[in-house]
């Protein structure tokens, strides 16, 4: 069972629901906007919205988002972490081949430095454990690397390449 992180007895992190889809996409754009060369266009969001809404509605699926509600803006999210479970053929350190992948880690600019991303990441890592993931992968910016290192992530040689279709 995933435990909700709390501060002073108040629930802080919760699993995102279909009703959060628009805010999930807004915070994803916050993350994209912070990347070097990030595409600031938001036209993609209308095509993505029904898909994200459906994925968030699948409580037993292989996609999960953990969020913190914005304390000063009702209906808005302050922080977001999204992850998915993937199967890759096993190997020595992950014989079952179940891998978690973290993406779309974002905190609203006016809600930063409050521990929200860390709390969301801890909930996502718990979810990965419950799903039987043998490892968790992510891509990080230099600014976010200390957070992930403090959670136990280590740099690995990454010969990744990408083909856009």
Per-residue pLDDT tens digits for 11-37: 699 999 999 999 999 999 999 888 877
What pLDDT score does 88 carry?
87
| Domain spans of the chain, in order of start | 11-36+43-150
Question: Quick one: pLDDT band at residue 83, thresholds 50, 70, 90?
Answer: very high
| Angle 154-122-24 from CA coordinates, rounded to 5° | 105
CB atoms within 10 A of CB 84: 17
Q: Give the three-class secondary structure for 39.
A: coil
Any idea which residue has 């096993």 for tokens? 90
> Are the CB atoms for 117 and 147 separated by under 8 Å?
yes
CATH class of segment(s) 11-36+43-150: alpha beta
Measure the CA–CA gap between 127 and 130, rounded to whole angstroms: 5
Interval 116-153: pLDDT, tens: 999 999 999 999 999 999 999 998 888 888 999 999 99
Residue 5 predicted with pLDDT over 60: no
Residue 8 predicted with pLDDT over 60: no
């Amino acid at each position: 069972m995933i435990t909700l992180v709390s501060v002073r007895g108040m629930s802080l992190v919760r699993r995102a629901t279909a009703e959060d889809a628009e805010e999930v996409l807004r915070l994803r754009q916050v993350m994209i906007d912070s990347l070097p060369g990030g595409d600031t266009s938001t036209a993609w969001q209308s095509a993505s919205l029904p898909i994200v809404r459906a994925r968030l509605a699948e409580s037993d699926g292989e996609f999960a988002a953990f969020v913190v509600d914005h304390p000063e803006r009702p209906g808005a999210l302050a922080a977001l972490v999204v992850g998915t479970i993937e199967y890759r053929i096993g190997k020595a350190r992950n014989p079952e081949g179940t891998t978690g992948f973290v993406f779309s880690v974002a905190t609203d600019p006016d809600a930063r430095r409050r521990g929200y991303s860390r709390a969301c990441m801890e909930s996502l890592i718990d979810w990965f454990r419950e799903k039987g993931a043998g490892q968790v992968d992510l891509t990080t910016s230099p600014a976010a690397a200390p957070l992930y290192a403090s959670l136990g992530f280590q740099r690995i040689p990454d010969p990744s390449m990408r083909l856009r279709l």
